[in-house]
Structure 1
């Protein structure tokens, strides 16, 4: 996200929230490809330049809106959380899959945008994909140290397998539900 460093008019904090809300509302209603920057700014009641003062592209705006929304369920657990790593991973996957069931079309569109724009691909990976990969890998490391995960399991590889399973289903419009989250978790820890 950009910040105004020009010394011009002060940035309206509410405009950013309005733009994110408008973008999500319109993309959910009409589909990512059918929504223009003009439509988003009109819906938010702000000038086009206001959007470009904060985001480089529509994809950047939509990603920030989705990312903000996912913080409710995809935040890393506290260090002192007493639950097992298995329980934390299962809870995380159930939350992610629930979100993807409701917002899969948006994520598929952002993945497509990332394939067409190298700069956005870097942003998408660093802001959205990598933090979740790191969180799962750290939970798997914790599980291994606490004896929940077999000592011969490689947390990096297992994390890749987890992510591969759900990205594959997401991209192919497969079922992403609590049962799948529980099946993945059971397979990892059995």
Structure 2
């Protein structure tokens, strides 16, 4: 069963939900939530939103961590969300580097297409399947990947967000201090 399209939200991971690192988040211990990010996800979950993650994880191709370590990081996130009443409905990741020329590495839209196929099967508009869907990221590549398919871009100033806030952002980009500020905005406008 597909959710109401306006109830789907796509989140980037590093720099949006958890602290980002220049040397990559490589282990469960290095995966540290940004203050209030898990509470924000819990609020969205409790309001009936379907929450997905679309994340580039080139550390796998670079040999910095394994697929099982990536799953351990995600399990930590899920375990921390559970007592708060929050959940992530789907996690989509690209394990490649830019040189692999894959279709799933953001800013390409392969991950977004996979999310649309899974959660928006009955969308009439196949050219812009993410129309009216919010995508939240801290980098230009996060936002571009979703806006190619019609998503509404939301930049958070955590992670790398403060570095790109003055860049040429996709048209209609809304800027928020963090994931909690985005959550309050979405809940106040829905």
TM-score calculated relative to the size of structure 1: 0.29
Choose between structure 1 and 2: higher helix proportion. 1
Q: Give the structure, 1 or 2, with the largest relative contact order (CA under 8 Å, sep 6 or more).
A: 2
TM-score calculated relative to the size of structure 2: 0.29
Choose between structure 1 and 2: higher strand proportion. 2
